[in-house]
Amino acid sequence: MTEKIVVKNLYKVFGPKPDVAMQMLQAGHGKDEIFRQTGMVVGVKDANFHVAEGEIFVLMGLSGSGKSTLIRLLNRLVEPTHGQILVGGQDVAAMSSQALVALRRKDMAMVFQSFALLPHLSVLNNTAFGLEVAGFDRKTREKRAMEVLEQVGLGSFAHKRPAELSGGMQQRVGLARALAVDPTLMLMDEAFSALDPLKRTEMQELLLQLQSEHQRTIVFVSHDLDEAFRIGNRIAIMEGGRIVQIGTPDEILRDPSDEYVRAFFKGVDVKKYLVARDVAQSGGVPLVRPGPDGRDVCSRAIEQLRAAKQHFGFLVGDDGRLQGTVSLESMLEFLQTGGVNVGAALLSDVNPVPDSMPLRELIGLTVKSPAPMAVVDQSGLYLGAVTQTVLLKKLVEEEPQTELTTEVTHE
Ligand SMILES: Nc1ncnc2c1ncn2[C@@H]1O[C@H](COP(=O)(O)OP(=O)(O)OP(=O)(O)O)[C@@H](O)[C@H]1O
Ligand SMILES: [Mg+2]
C-alpha cells in the first residue's frame, strides 16, 4: 500500500505569536486557556495520520473542531505553524510557492461547500477553468471539460450559465471542475452539505461511482455521520483541534475511544451499519471435521450433534474453510442410502453468507432459513454462525439506550 499523504506532528495556531502558543501547548495548556490568556486560536494540534492511495479519508467533528483548517493545511491554503505534510512524497510545508502552485494545479483539486462558480462563464468554461489556468489550449480544455460534464450527467447543460442550474447541478459543476484537471488527490470540504438530503445522497453515489471507475485519493470533510459512513474508507474524528480517533467506520462504531466519540453515535441507528461479521458467533453451532471416510464422519457427527442438542452442524476443513451445512436428517439419510462421500450429506439449499452482508439483508435471509447461517470471508474461511436468536439478541442490544434510562423498580 502506497501512502499518498503522510502528516506528522502538524500544528496550526492562528494569531500573531504562534511561538508563544506553541510553548504553552508544550507546557500542557489547553486550547481554551491559550485563547483566554493570549487571544490566539489553536486550529490544529499535533495531527498525525496517513492516507493511502485510492482511499477516501473522512474528517469529522463538531463545528470549530479544526476540520477545515486541517484539510486546508494539506494544500497550504493555511500555512502550518509546525510539522510535516508529505503529499506523494513531496514535503508540502517546505515547498517553494512556485512548486506549490504547480502541485495545486496538476495534482490536487479542492471542492468547497459554496460552489464558487463564476457567474459570467458558461458551465463548460467554469468546468474548464482549472485547465485554462494550467495553460491548456482551448480545444483540449473544452474536450476534457465536456468529458467530465458527461461523467457527472451535465453534458446537455454545458452552455448554460450557473444561475440557470439548481443547487445540486451547480455542485456537480464544482465537482466536474475539480475532476477536469484529473487530480490524483481531491480535497472536499463539506462539498455536499448545502444540498438537500436526496441530492446529497445522489452526489455521494456519483462520487462512489466515479471512484470505482478511477481511484483517486480523497480527503472529505463532513459533519454528517451517514455521509461519513457511506463514503469513508476510514474516518478521523476531531475535537478541539486534535484527532481523537482514526479507524474504519466499523472500528469506530465498535470501539469508540472516548465519551466525545461515543456522544457522536448517541441515537444513531447502529443496525444500519452492522454487517454479518459483526453478529456472527462462534460456538453456537457444532463444527464437524471432515475425514476420508464419509460414513465415519457422519456417525461421529450425529453423536456430536445429539450430545450438543443441536439439529445442524457446519462441515469445516482443517484449513478453516466451510464445506457446507449438515443436519441430523441429512446425515441419517446419507447413512441409510449407503452414501460414501460426505459431500452427499450436505444440505444443498443452505448457502453461506458473505461477512460483508448488511444486517438488513441478513435479517431477511434468517427469517426464511430454518438452518443457522454460516458467515464466511472472501476466501471461504468460516467466521461464525448467525441464528435467529443471535440476531434478535443483537438487535435488542443495539437499541438506542436513551429510552432505557428511567429505572423501574418492582417493589
Ligand atoms: N483564519 C482564522 N483566523 C483565526 N481563527 C481561525 C481561522 N480559521 C479558523 N479559525 C479557528 O480555528 C478553529 C477551527 O476552525 P475550523 O474552521 O477548522 O473548524 P471546522 O471544524 O471546519 O468547523 P465547521 O464545521 O464550522 O466548518 C476554530 O476555533 C476557528 O475559530
Ligand atoms: Mg469547516
- Tens of pLDDT, residues 301-314: 999 999 999 999 99
Determine if ligand 1 sits within 6 Å of the CB of residue 43. yes
Closest CA to 153 of 127, 134, 135: 127
CATH of the domain at 310: 3.10.580.10
Determine if ligand 1 sits within 6 Å of the CB of residue 64. yes
Same domain for 234 and 291: no
Determine if ligand 1 sits within 6 Å of the CB of residue 325. no
Provide CB contacts within 8 A for 158, sequence distance 6+.
Answer: 122, 123, 124, 127, 145, 146, 149
Atom of ligand 1 nearest to the CA of 190: 27
Residue ending a domain, choose from 232, 254, 274: 274
Answer whether residue 152 is part of any domain.
yes
Determine if ligand 1 sits within 6 Å of the CB of residue 66. yes
Q: Give the sheet arrangement for strand 217-221, strand by strand.
A: 108-111, 185-189, 217-221, 56-61, 234-239, 242-247
Same domain for 379 and 250: no
Going from the Cα of 66 to the center of ligand 1, the distance in angstroms, rounded, reads 6
Answer whether residue 205 is part of any domain.
yes
Residue ending a domain, choose from 274, 293, 320: 274
Give 400's pLDDT tier (boundaries 50, 70, 90).
Answer: low
Task: Report the sign of the C-alpha dihedral through residues 357, 360, 363, 368, in that order.
Answer: negative
Determine if ligand 1 sits within 6 Å of the CB of residue 41. yes
Residue ending a domain, choose from 274, 296, 315: 274
Going from the Cα of 14 to the center of ligand 1, the distance in angstroms, rounded, reads 9
Domain total for the chain? 2
- Tens of pLDDT, residues 203-253: 898 899 888 888 999 999 998 888 898 899 999 999 999 999 999 987 888
Q: Which residue has the cell 508544550?
A: 26
**Which domain covers residue 170, as residue numbers?**
3-274
Atom of ligand 1 nearest to the CA of 72: 18
Answer whether residue 257 is part of any domain.
yes
Determine if ligand 1 sits within 6 Å of the CB of residue 18. no
Q: How far apart are CA 40 and CA 289, in angstroms?
A: 67
Give the pLDDT score at 193. Answer: 85
179-183, 235-239, 339-343, range with greatest mean pLDDT: 235-239
Answer whether residue 358 is part of any domain.
yes
Give the pLDDT score at 279. Answer: 87
Same domain for 126 and 226: yes
Range of lowest pLDDT (103-107, 135-139, 302-306, 371-375): 103-107
Same domain for 333 and 282: yes
